[in-house]
Chains A and B, each alone.
Chain A
Amino acid sequence: MSYLAGKELRIVGFLCNWCSYGGADTAGVGRFKQPTDLRIIRVPCSGRVNPLFVVKALLNGADGVLVSGCHPRDCHYSDGNFYARRRLEMLKRLLPFLGIDERRFHYTWVSASEGARWKNVVTDFTKAIHELGPFHQKEEKTECS
């Protein structure tokens, strides 16, 4: 797996407590081999994910951001992911307008029992980010401090 050979990249994952975090746990318990670039932040619900979390992460050092929640109709709070879907879709369309490759941001749904699916999501997303390369190679603009 060549994309794992080089340096790790920084990928931030916002996972809902009830489904996707459980799914990641299932994948761990199942001892699936997964890339380790992803840093997981557990949130109560994908509806808790303010699109600005994603923007802030991307602007401040992340090379990719993944948001994962319960499948539509399976939200623990019944409708959090429905709101999330609208917000995240708007963000997905806005990012390229500002010159940020939309492939650096992905949102999807993984349930607590879908350990294998989780493994695939992480592996594929990590691979995609490695293909895009680091997001922040340029020097920061000079700051007045």
Chain B
Amino acid sequence: MFIEKLKEAVRKILPEVDVVIGYRQGFDPLHATPYFLDKPEQVDQLIWNPLCVQNLCSYIPFLKGKVGVIVKGCDSRAIVQYMQEKLITRENIKVIGVPCLRVISVKKVMAAINQQTVQEVTFEGDNIIVKIPEGPKTIPSADVAPRKCATCQLATPLQYDVLAGEAIQSNKPQDTFEETKEFEKLSLEERRAYWEKEFDRCIRCYACRNACPMCICQDKCIAESRDPHWTSQRANVTEKAMFHMIHGLHLAGRCISCEECERVCPMDIPVAKIKKKISMDLKELFGYEAGMNPDDTPPMYTFKVEEATIEEHEI
């Protein structure tokens, strides 16, 4: 059983670190929740299944001492990006890698079962079987996976100290930013109306920022500071748009596309769409993808005297 391999890996690492971050069962069978453990007897509480969606790396910059963490391929880009930005001492982090081909979005499952109470969840091949009051419902995992999984190239994490299980290859096509390009075909007015409608729902709970592995300054986030006063407490769409521009631009060249922002949003706002557009431009202009190689320099931290890809603009 894979879970035994994972527990074994955690047991081995536990004496070397102050805490290990993994997953345990949440409040119902559909929810996994982050679990911080520091005693061997806690290891048996660990779980692993496609519902272990959270990017646990987000906690690392806030923790002192040595930390063990369970990471999937997509999460591992956070570790790489922390290394690029010198936000962690790699030796202090013990990465327990897990091969992964697909996770499952809780929101999408809930939509598929009409928000009914979940009594039991099992996995069979490429399906998730959810037991609801009217009986078991079988849903193909691919139908309820987050969109990032459809083009994920990192079935095996980029960084790990121990790998639970065997290294595997991704079987997915590359991301070609189709969705972003489609959106850009809309007229300016349509795009503006789209975002006004989306941002209008934002309640500025900042969950998207709090879950972001790269928003490492969230204790002093300028979206909440009075000095400087970038955004006011007014509840209008202008202030909301301003917050999203802050969040998006602070992640330019740093966003690792884990799409945690979108996963945690209680208002279903497609916030990752903005980051994706920025990532697309960065790839086009500077051939850069965040979180892929620890030796890269983020493109906004450097320059070229002659920028082959940037042309002067006419008025």
Contact = CB atoms under 8 A, between A and B. Distances in A.
Interface of A: 51-52, 55-56, 59-60, 72-73, 79, 82-83, 85-87, 89-94, 96-101, 103, 106-108, 121, 124-125, 128, 140-145
23 contacts: A55-B245, A59-B241, A60-B238, A82-B303, A82-B305, A83-B303, A85-B303, A86-B286, A86-B299, A86-B300, A87-B252, A89-B285, A89-B310, A90-B281, A90-B282, A98-B245, A99-B191, A99-B196, A108-B313, A140-B238, A141-B200, A141-B237, A143-B236
A97 B303 contact: no
A55 B223 CA distance: 14
B193 interface: yes
B188 A96 contact: yes
Interface size class of B (residues with CB under 8 A): 35 or more
Instruction: Tell me the dominant secondary structure on chain B's binding face.
Output: helix
B181 to A, nearest CB: 11
A97 B186 CA distance: 9
A59 B188 contact: no
B313 A73 contact: no
A108 B300 CA distance: 19
A81 to B, nearest CB: 9
Interface of B: 183-184, 188-196, 200, 230, 234-238, 241-242, 245-246, 248-249, 252, 274, 277-278, 281-282, 285-286, 299-300, 303-305, 307, 310, 312-313, 315
B235 A143 contact: yes
Contacts of A142: 236
A101 B191 CA distance: 11
Contact of A99 (B189, B235, B285): B189
B192 A98 contact: yes
B281 A93 contact: yes
A93 B312 CA distance: 13
Contacts of B305: 72-73, 82
Given A56-B242, A86-B285, A92-B313, 4 more contacts: A83-B303, A86-B307, A90-B252, A141-B236
A98 B195 contact: yes
